[in-house]
Structure 1
């Protein structure tokens, strides 16, 4: 068995999962901060939150692209 490849896949999977969860959490937090009435520039925070959500969505779509064999042809 090729242990180095297994460790590489496990490492990339762990890194990707942590990154996606952190970006989604950051997006939720920025959305909550932007909803606060006392903020001076809620539009900037809301757009940063949407950017975090967009990167999360792109990561999920890329993962689906890698998993589904139909797209790899």
Structure 2
């Protein structure tokens, strides 16, 4: 499970459906990514899209993914 991704999404007030629409993927596919069922290694297209949505550098997404760390809550 990508808790860091869930926290970022919730902090922005986005639903999984919102995220799917923003990334150009289905809600169920986004849900599988967030739950860790899909994309065990997140691809750069998804990472880049997430970085844009959350206004953070792609390197930060990669860091969260590598460490499974939690972003600071704002």
Class of the TM-score when normalised by the shorter of the 2 chains = under 0.3
More relative contact order in 1 or in 2 (CA 8 Å, sep 6+)?
A: 2
